[in-house]
Amino acid sequence: MSLIAFLLRRAPAGVLLSALAGLASGLMTAGLLALVGRWAARPEPGGLALEVFFALCGAMFLTKVGSEQLFIRSSLKAVFELRMQLGRHVLAAPLRQLEEVGPARLLSALTEDVTLIAQALPFVSSLVVNLVLVAACLLILGMLSLPLLMALSLVLALGTVTYRALASEGVRRFEVAHRSQGILHEHLRALVAGSKQLKLHAGRREAFLQGRFGDNARALRDQLWAAIRLFVAGGQWGSLLFLGGIGLVLFVAPQAGWVEPPVRAAATVTLLYLMLPLGELLLAVHQLSRASVALDSLERLGLSPAPSAGAPPPPVPGASWRRLELRGVSHGYVQGGERTFVLGPIDFTLHPGEVVFIAGGNGSGKSTLLKLLTGLYPPERGEIVLDGRIITDADLEWYQQHFSAVFSDHHLFDGLYGISGPSWEAEARTQMARLGLEGEVRLHGRHFSTTQLSQGQRKRLALLVSLLEDKPLAVYDEPAAELAPGFKDFFYRQLVPELKARGKGVLIVTHDDRYFAHADRVLTLENGRFREASIASPARQ
Ligand SMILES: Nc1ncnc2c1ncn2[C@@H]1O[C@H](COP(=O)(O)OP(=O)(O)OP(=O)(O)O)[C@@H](O)[C@H]1O
């Protein structure tokens, strides 16, 4: 099973030790059963070796507890590693791949799929221990009566074949339900993100809840029920067969002469005991089947690390550079097999201390250009060249580290991650004061006291982080869109000239034509291409 392989890959020593302890525990239980069986078969009471009985009980308890604890530790380790690995894969995957998979599917994988796997892992241990117990019970029964063992094996084989047929159909239905779960996640995201609009419009709220959301939730409920019902039916059929097996021992076997009267009690005890591990096995198969669907789905996400992952360490912030060029670069989007938009080919050069504004209508490709320039989208055609070095796939990670960015859909982290240096705190406080953030947000160590802020405050906090990063190149996508006039002025008239004076290359997507005079060049994008030549050093307003 893929789940067992998954565990063995991540915690081989712990799983093997746990399996050995489980095996020992199963053997002790079988020994105990054999002992009790032999005692039950004696015509006279007494004669059970008490010390052997208690020794076996103690050993069974210790090996079982040891096996379970080792297994739980190994499972937790495996799940922790899976979470870390998924996090790394998400961050190492090319941005386009993440956009294509979509946030809902990613979140569903990182939360629900991992949880399903974590919850199912203890059942791997149960599978091992109970398989040993079943094998041991069959061995004991075989020693008591060979014909009985053969008849029971037939019953068990029939049960297994039927259960497998039902279970494989159940797994198929779990797969269908899993796809609905991904769609439900998308609707849940819409429900949370759109709660304001839904609150203000009762008709829309009901239409959404009863419509797409409710339809999908109902479909998921029905698909899960269809899948679980098959496993339950399989389990019930297995129990029925087994009761038939007990009937065999009690009524048919003695008459057929398969079981001698002295061992009939022992065979019945063993058979009755066998019901326990068989029941647990069925439960384990059910849980593990569901988790296997989740694991397969995680593997199907196919988050391949970008070719640049694991590249040389990033440069020290503030590293010097001389010239950045885009030579005939282009990038296109494909949706439903059709090219919907192409940016480029673009030729563009930026030098230290240069400030370039990018203007253009909605959908003209400004944000796409920023993603291309920063290496988040590798060019389909053309070259990015930094100081004469052509940026290859293997250089992308290194190249990306030159940029500090504030995107239009910027995520505000709750603290200053990755900001270091001897005077980072003093610098942070100074810049917070300049950006008017004092009194609105406080620094607790490296964490912000809050991120529950207005749009303008969030934008200023994002600018603060960008300033503290102190990278050689700064790109901003409509940074002043939500800023009040005073802060807009401060940004264009003070911050941007300061960045320029410090030799940064600055690229700003903006519609603020009042401030165009503060750029060395203003380039306008139109349908993915630059419309006109640069405006060199316009007169300051
Ligand atoms: N992830 C994506 N997948 C497919 N198409 C996309 C994607 N992102 C953008 N596009 C398309 O590419 C075109 C350019 O989008 P882009 O976001 O670069 O424009 P923009 O100039 O920044 O627009 P705006 O001023 O409205 O922010 C648009 O037609 C858009 O629909």
H or E segment at 111? none
Question: What's the pLDDT at 407?
Answer: 93
**Average pLDDT of 424-447?**
90
225 confidence band (pLDDT: 50, 70, 90)? very high
Burial of residue 188 (CB within 10 Å: 0-12, 13-18, 19+) is middle
Q: Annotate 30-63 with b (16+ C-beta within 10 A) or e (fewer).
A: bbbbbbbbbbbbeeeeeeeeeeeeeebeebbeeb
365 lines ligand 1 (CB under 6 A): yes
Q: What is the pLDDT of residue 535?
A: 47
State the pLDDT confidence band at 369, using cuts at 50, 70 and 90. very high
Distance 330 CA to ligand 1 centre (A): 14
**Averaged pLDDT score across all residues of the chain:** 85
- The per-residue pLDDT for range 69-104, each reduced to its tens digit, is 888 888 888 888 888 888 888 888 889 888 888 888
For tokens 């797969």, the residue is 175
Highest mean pLDDT among 102-116, 407-421, 454-468, 519-533: 454-468
* pTM recorded for the entire structure: 0.76
Least Cα distance to 464 among 425, 502, 496, 435 occurs for: 435
pLDDT digits (tens, 9 = 90+) for 382-428: 999 999 999 998 888 889 989 999 998 888 999 898 888 888 888 99
Report how far ligand 1's centroid is from the alpha carbon of 328 (Å). 19
Residue 381 CB partners (closer than 8 Å, separation 6+):
328, 329, 330, 344, 345
Res. 311: pLDDT tops 80: no
Task: Take residue 538 and report the two structure tokens written for it.
Answer: 């316009």
Picking from 153-167, 216-230, 498-512, which range would have the lowest pLDDT averaged per residue? 153-167
Provide the pLDDT for residue 148: 80
CA angle in degrees (0–180, nearest 5) for 277-278-280: 65
Does residue 344 line the site of ligand 1, with CB under 6 A?
Answer: no
pLDDT of residue 1: 57
3-state secondary structure of 520: coil
Instruction: State the complex-level ipTM.
Output: 0.97
* Chain centre distance of CA 336: 26
Give tens-digit pLDDT for 240-255: 887 887 777 777 777 7
Q: Is the pLDDT of residue 167 over 80?
A: yes
Alpha carbon of 472 to ligand 1 centroid (Å): 26
Taking 80 as the threshold, does the pLDDT of residue 496 lie above it?
A: yes
238 lines ligand 1 (CB under 6 A): no
pLDDT of the residue at 536 = 47
Say if ligand 1 is within 6 A of residue 409 CB. Answer: no
Strands 505-509 vs 355-360: parallel, antiparallel or unpaired:
parallel
Which residue's alpha carbon is at the smallest distance from atom 4 of ligand 1? 333
Range in 31-40, 120-129, 186-195 the model is least confident about = 31-40
pLDDT of residue 525: 95
Nearest ligand 1 atom to the CA of 525 is: 21
The larger pLDDT score, comparing residue 460 to residue 12, is at 460
pLDDT of residue 383: 95
pLDDT reading at 231 higher than 60 = yes
Burial of 449 (0-12, 13-18, 19+ CB in 10 A): exposed
Query: Measured between alpha carbons, how far is 207 from 215 in angstroms, rounded to an integer?
Result: 11
**What is the pLDDT confidence band of residue 151, given thresholds at 50, 70 and 90?**
confident
Answer with the residue of higher pLDDT: 536 or 384.
Answer: 384
- By most ligand atoms within 8 Å of CB, the mutation choice from 330, 339, 358, 367 for ligand 1 is 367
Ligand 1 atom having least distance to the Cα of 511: 25
Residue nearest to atom 6 of ligand 1 (CA): 333
Instruction: Please tell me the predicted confidence (pLDDT) of residue 431.
Output: 92
Task: Establish whether residue 367 lines the binding site of ligand 1, counting it when its CB lies within 6 angstroms of any ligand atom.
Answer: yes
pLDDT exceeds 70 at position 48: no
Does ligand 1 lie within 6 Å of residue 368's CB atom?
yes
Q: What is the arithmetic mean of pLDDT over 332-347?
A: 88
366 lines ligand 1 (CB under 6 A): yes
